[in-house]
Amino acid sequence: MMVSVHKLRARAWGALCIVVGVGAATSAAASGIGPRVGLTGDPDQVHFGLAIDAVRLAPGLGFVPSFDFGVGNDVVLISGNFDFKYVFAIQSSWRPYLGGGPALHFVNVDNAGDDTEVGLGIVGGMQTATRSGAFFTELRLGMVDSPDFKFTVGWLFR
């Protein structure tokens, strides 16, 4: 069985993203980790998962991977989003942020088989501090082989 160069490249990127994600998860206890849930467009789904505030690179800038499991529209989509996020320092209880990064998607379509895709996402949102961490709401726009958009809410516990 021959595997195409595109699939090999996607699998290599996938392995790299998983290694980075596992490394980030091991350092997450000090920064923050929490649940996320939302709606996905194309494929039309409900998704839920985990966000990890993994590494602070500079004031306001961090590596924040997230992992989602989406169901609906006869598709199961497992995504790893490997985002860098910048939170703007403004005088407000709600602080905006922008970011983005590569994404790895494992796709299973009913009666059509499995596929692995590498995409790119741009994310923007708002977050506010809570007693135990932060609450956030965000919109992710997908490019290349990513879902068109994801609207997500979540909590990061510190």
**How many helices and strands in the chain, by DSSP H and E?**
2, 9
Answer whether 11's CB lies under 8 Å from 116's CB: yes
Tell me: the pLDDT tens digits for 27-85? Answer: 544 479 999 999 999 999 999 999 999 998 999 999 999 999 999 999 999 999 999 99
pLDDT score, position 31: 78
Q: What is the pLDDT of residues 14-36, one digit of tens each?
A: 555 555 555 555 454 447 999 99
Cα–Cα distance, 112 to 62 (Å, whole number): 38
How far, in Å, CA of 79 to CA of 90, rounded? 31
The whole-model pTM stands at 0.80
> How would you classify residue 21: left for phi > 0, otherwise alpha for psi between -120 and 50, otherwise beta?
alpha
- pLDDT band, very low/low/confident/very high, at 146 (cuts 50, 70, 90): very high
The pLDDT confidence band at residue 1, using thresholds 50, 70 and 90, is very low
- What CATH number is attached to the domain comprising 128? 2.40.160.20
By CB neighbour count within 10 A (0-12 exposed, 13-18 middle, 19+ buried), where does 136 fall? buried
How much is the pLDDT for 110? 87
Q: Which residue has the higher pLDDT, 3 or 118?
A: 118
How confident is the model over 128-144, as pLDDT tens digits? 999 999 999 999 999 99
Give the domain range for residue 111: 5-157
pLDDT averaged over every residue in the chain: 87
Structural domains counted in the chain: 1
